[in-house]
Structure 1
Amino acid sequence: MTPNPLSHAIKFITLVGITALFHGSLYAKVGFLSETKITDKAMFFDGNKLSFKQTNNPPNPNGYDYIFGNALSPHGDCIKVYKHFVFMTWYRGGIEDRHVMLSRLNTQTGVLKTIEFPHRHTGFKGKWWLGESHNTIAVGISPKNDTIHLLYDMHRNGNVAAFADDYLRYSYSIEGAATVTDEEFTLKQFVNSKAGHYKHLEFAGIGDIETTQLLTYPAFFIGADGNLFMKMRFGYSANGKMLFARYDGKQWHGYHDFNRTMASEHGSEHNWGLYGDFKYTGGKFRIGFQRRSKNNADKYQYQNGIYYAYSNDPTGVTSWKTAKGEDLALPVSQADLIKIVEPGDWVKTTKKDQVSIVHGFDFVVTDAGDEHFVSQIQDKEFNVIKNLHTYRKAGNKNFTTVEYTGGNQLYTSGNNVYVIGLIDGRVNIVKTPGGTSQFTQMYQHQTGPKFDKGVVRVFDGKVYFYLKQQAGSGDKRALYLQVFELD
């Protein structure tokens, strides 16, 4: 997702710094390292955006119609950096193709190798001619045995009769596949299924098929001791839960629920779902989210609040705490126990459904333990949009919330916090020291292609930005990887 641009004032002030960058100034360590074109055939939905009521339409001969958003590559958990390799997932276009693809860039040899998988994007509720932007391709690498794990094309597939034997799209490799030579990086590195399509209907070690059938938003992250975690949402927007599982190099352990569905039956006034993320950041397993309540009478059209908790258990199973350090029992049914701030208090309207909070939420924690959150709120009655930065320096008791002009995707490296996104179609890097809100623009790229969508990974002091080119026509677009050095 693309953070909002900095204000024109800040952009003007920092032009001097940007110009000096190219003359070896104070910011000489921040800058562009490389650019690699991944493909010019990434699937793109160039047709009409349709409502749910139009989904029975036949294929549009003039374009690739879609539900939700028009770009599925890059999107979601689609890029990982492991050792000297960069892994990127994408769907190959156009509408008649739709294959799942995995590319690996060897940064030592410069060789890009791509694997085509048999699976093809199945579209909205099985209607292949309707693009479905929830159905991302997540990639994870296990440091314990160098296996590659892919989860893709999943949005409560168990609700679709045609997917009775195709509800989980999970592919995994043999041991060592992540680091094989360029020549050996082929489909043969992956474990085939009985059906011959490299898709497996269960996670080894997890027998909860009813849950597996209804998972959405797959993603992976690395925790302590080289454990690979898989995270997903189960259920619906206003009655869903976040869950995770752990891969120890031999099998999966889980599922572990953070919160309950049907919370109103367990002490909550209303059922609720959550929009946010699990992360292993700042040395701990954490969750940050905004709540979507089933309360249809308040001023919030969708989400409200910022809710946050962390675990002192490296596996995330036990020892959960509130932001105040109080014990927290899982699964959570009363979200107010972990609420840290209400963005809705920053706007004037009190009318029903006039506060819209659907974009711009993210959080990170620095190595030192400084906690940072960003959120965006819209007052529909008075036509006001505010971006907020909520933060707490390690050791402090209270959070501080201020308005700021930065973007909505946070990253951390060491004890700094970065906003990394696009301004005028090119990569922009902004930084604040951990535990502060002193954002300063460090770099603005000024040459090469322009982009309108990207996904970032920060690894070992470098920014890996996986980008979709803005220009193009038809149902295919070009994807690039740009790499930048941080300070």
Structure 2
Amino acid sequence: MRNIKQYLTASLMCLLTASCAVTQEKKQESKNEISQGLIYLEREVKVTDSALFFDGKKLGNVRKSVNIKNDPNGKYDYQYGSAIAPHGDAIKTYQHYVFMTWYRGGKYDRHMMLSRLNLKTGQLKHIEFPHQHTGLVGRWWIGETHNTIAVGISPKDETIHLVFDLHAYSKHSDTGGNGSFAKDYFRYSYSLPGAAAVSDDEFTLDLFVKDTSSHSAGPNDYNHLSMTGAEDHAAHSKLTYPKFFLNDQGDLFFYIRQGTSHDGKGIFNYYKSNGIWSSFKSINKLNVKEDGLAHTWSNYGNMKFANGKLGFAFQPRINNKTDRYKYQNGVYFMYSDDPIGQLQWKNYKGQDINLPLIDPKPAFVTEPGDWVTSQQPNKIVITGSFDWTITQKGDVHIISRVRDTEYKKDVYLHHYKPAGQSEFITTDKFVGAKNLYTSGDNIYIIGLDNGQPYIEQATGGTNQFKRVYQGKKQAADFKKGMVYIAQGKLYYYLLAEGQGDKRTTYLQIINLEGR
């Protein structure tokens, strides 16, 4: 009997041990799948040790801030946010080159910079422009994170384009610049044809075209006041949030918001040649009260070209001080079958939309505010964490966040329409994200976890996200990053943790398609 008991006990222990071994092995495999699986880090490159950073205190009221004088012994105080590099539309690729924009620190330098990494030679070249970070409405001693540097590359003539340092500036003194923007309210620089692909030794400031017009600031002025070849203050003033992107035909587009936070419109144009662009086309109209609407509204959106369509998703900020929404409300989406977006705009149901929009209703998708409870004035906040994309096979995905400040509740929403389906699905079973990306038929959430990049992936047309990559510390921990995806690779432009008004930035290239 004792032998039988010993045998059964030994057998049971063997089974349990084997089971535990299998479980541990599966856990280890799962861990390795995340850190060493199909998605992997190809390379990490230091871009600079001198990226500008606002290391002082965050200021409150803008009207009071403009009266603050420079403290020559003080740190770099700022408005809105502290990290200006990298920020905005700061990274693009062309052939085997990566282009990155930044301001050079510290507080008394602030020069605009363009860097190009040659992935074949490993050479990283920097171009310093005469232009310096403007600061808060002309007060250079107050940092301003709206003043980003957007970069675009035209594959048709290999020109480089930069629009930079803008936050609703005008030639009139009422913008707060005390007249300093009279001949500098719009900032556009462009290169000679072929500049994007010159040899490493030839990548210099001489590639860029000087401004020799009547509003030029002198022989070293590369800031052009117009994209259309002639000064047009109405078209080029009060602009914020510049962005460049391409369509499938290789046309370079530019999108920006014009106007204010309570009465702003989206405008876009496309590049022709020799620094000349088409006239701007408006997504929506300003001052819609004159068209019979009760309130003006500002357009908070993002234009992209995806799956052969020029698309635009947005949230309107309706200037209504008495409803339950403090800022934005609603999710809206529309697209054009015209590759240059001049005609054929439709809502997600395929119904025609006329531009410019006066009332946003024709583009309506869903109302995030319906997922929370408060009915009190200005208690529902729908700002940030809003983005969209379309997969290669045509799945449309939009993300948003709604906050109920009365009941202290945040809800992250994923609105998606699988290819071939007619209506959007909305779910709150979503982890939440600030941005959404696509490559092929997959969608991605990309961010930082414990100072290192992570990637969550889902098949297009689903909400089934899983973590497929977690970076390990190489040279530094990071506090912020800007993402660009091209041809199955993630180019992650990263700001390292640090001290002072000069910080270190890196580029990580992560292969999304595997070994």
**Bin for the TM-score computed over the shorter chain:** over 0.9
CA deviations 1:123-142 (Å, max 9, x no partner) are: 10100100010000000000
Match of 1:244 among 268, 280, 283: 268
In 2, Cα distance between the equivalents of 1:22 and 1:400? Answer: 32
- Check whether the contact 1:34–1:483 (CA below 8 A) recurs between aligned residues: yes
1:172 equivalenced with 2:190 (yes/no)? yes
In 2, Cα distance between the equivalents of 1:406 and 1:296? Answer: 28
Alignment of 1:354-373 (within 5 A): 354-373=379-398
SS of the counterpart of 1:304?
Answer: coil
- Check whether the contact 2:33–2:468 (CA below 8 A) recurs between aligned residues: no
1:476 equivalenced with 2:502 (yes/no)? yes
- Check whether the contact 2:288–2:296 (CA below 8 A) recurs between aligned residues: yes
- Identify the residue that residue 193 of structure 1 maps to in structure 2: 211
- Identify the residue that residue 79 of structure 2 maps to in structure 1: 67
Pick closer, same or farther for the CA change 1:39–1:292 going to 2, 3 Å.
same
In 2, Cα distance between the equivalents of 1:273 and 1:108? Answer: 45
- Check whether the contact 1:236–1:273 (CA below 8 A) recurs between aligned residues: yes
Q: How far is the alpha carbon of 1:324 from its aligned partner?
A: 0.8
In 1, Cα distance between the equivalents of 2:158 and 2:166? Answer: 24
Q: How far is the alpha carbon of 1:316 from its aligned partner?
A: 0.5
- Identify the residue that residue 123 of structure 1 maps to in structure 2: 135
What amino acid is the match of 1:416? N
In 1, Cα distance between the equivalents of 2:447 and 2:56? Answer: 26
Pick closer, same or farther for the CA change 1:15–1:136 going to 2, 3 Å.
farther
- Identify the residue that residue 5 of structure 1 maps to in structure 2: none
- Identify the residue that residue 437 of structure 1 maps to in structure 2: 463
Alignment of 1:304-453 (within 5 A): 304-403=329-428, 404-448=430-474, 449-453=476-480
- Check whether the contact 2:168–2:260 (CA below 8 A) recurs between aligned residues: no
CA deviations 1:215-255 (Å, max 9, x no partner) are: 11111111242111111111011111000011023431111
How many pairs does the alignment contain?
Answer: 470
CA deviations 1:369-413 (Å, max 9, x no partner) are: 100011111111111111110000111011001111142211111
Alignment of 1:4-153 (within 5 A): 17-21=30-34, 28-51=37-60, 52=62, 53-60=64-71, 61-153=73-165
1:456 equivalenced with 2:483 (yes/no)? yes
Alpha-carbon RMSD: 1.5
- Check whether the contact 1:267–1:334 (CA below 8 A) recurs between aligned residues: no
- Identify the residue that residue 155 of structure 1 maps to in structure 2: 167
- Check whether the contact 1:18–1:444 (CA below 8 A) recurs between aligned residues: no
CA deviations 1:148-169 (Å, max 9, x no partner) are: 0011111122133111011121
In 1, Cα distance between the equivalents of 2:270 and 2:189? Answer: 16
| TM-score of the pair, normalised by structure 1 | 0.94
Higher relative contact order (CA 8 A, sep 6+): 1
Hey, which bits of structure 1, 4+ residues long, moved more than 6 A?
none
- Check whether the contact 2:300–2:315 (CA below 8 A) recurs between aligned residues: yes
Q: How far is the alpha carbon of 1:116 from its aligned partner?
A: 0.2
Q: How far is the alpha carbon of 1:206 from its aligned partner?
A: 5.8
Q: How far is the alpha carbon of 1:14 from its aligned partner?
A: 8.6
In 1, Cα distance between the equivalents of 2:246 and 2:452? Answer: 29
What amino acid is the match of 1:19? N
- Check whether the contact 2:485–2:491 (CA below 8 A) recurs between aligned residues: yes
| TM-score of the pair, normalised by structure 2 | 0.89
Q: How far is the alpha carbon of 1:71 from its aligned partner?
A: 0.9
Q: Which has the larger radius of gyration?
A: 2
In 2, Cα distance between the equivalents of 1:327 and 1:382? Answer: 39
- Check whether the contact 2:496–2:505 (CA below 8 A) recurs between aligned residues: yes
SS of the counterpart of 1:327?
Answer: coil
- Check whether the contact 1:357–1:376 (CA below 8 A) recurs between aligned residues: yes
Pick closer, same or farther for the CA change 1:174–1:310 going to 2, 3 Å.
same
- Check whether the contact 2:482–2:494 (CA below 8 A) recurs between aligned residues: yes
In 2, Cα distance between the equivalents of 1:326 and 1:81? Answer: 35
- Identify the residue that residue 229 of structure 1 maps to in structure 2: 253
- Check whether the contact 1:206–1:255 (CA below 8 A) recurs between aligned residues: no
In 2, Cα distance between the equivalents of 1:263 and 1:119? Answer: 37
Unaligned runs of 5+ in 1: 1-12
Q: How far is the alpha carbon of 1:22 from its aligned partner?
A: 5.3
Q: Which stretch shows the higher mean deviation, 406-415 or 317-326? A: 406-415
Q: How far is the alpha carbon of 1:475 from its aligned partner?
A: 0.7
- Check whether the contact 1:364–1:372 (CA below 8 A) recurs between aligned residues: yes
- Check whether the contact 1:371–1:393 (CA below 8 A) recurs between aligned residues: yes
What amino acid is the match of 2:478? F
What amino acid is the match of 1:315? I
SS of the counterpart of 2:201?
Answer: coil
1:204 equivalenced with 2:228 (yes/no)? yes
- Check whether the contact 2:480–2:496 (CA below 8 A) recurs between aligned residues: yes
Q: Which stretch shows the higher mean deviation, 58-67 or 203-212? A: 203-212
CA deviations 1:419-466 (Å, max 9, x no partner) are: 111111110011111111110110100222111111000111010000
In 1, Cα distance between the equivalents of 2:154 and 2:359? Answer: 34
SS of the counterpart of 2:500?
Answer: coil
Determine what percentage of the aligned residue pairs are the same residue: 46
Q: How far is the alpha carbon of 1:205 from its aligned partner?
A: 4.4
- Identify the residue that residue 10 of structure 1 maps to in structure 2: none
SS of the counterpart of 1:183?
Answer: helix
Pick closer, same or farther for the CA change 1:424–1:22 going to 2, 3 Å.
closer
Q: Which stretch shows the higher mean deviation, 139-148 or 49-58? A: 49-58
SS of the counterpart of 2:394?
Answer: coil
CA deviations 1:256-307 (Å, max 9, x no partner) are: 0010011222243321001111111121011001110011111111111111
Q: How far is the alpha carbon of 1:15 from its aligned partner?
A: 7.8
What amino acid is the match of 1:288? A
In 1, Cα distance between the equivalents of 2:339 and 2:509? Answer: 31
Q: How far is the alpha carbon of 1:210 from its aligned partner?
A: 1.7
Q: How far is the alpha carbon of 1:173 from its aligned partner?
A: 0.4
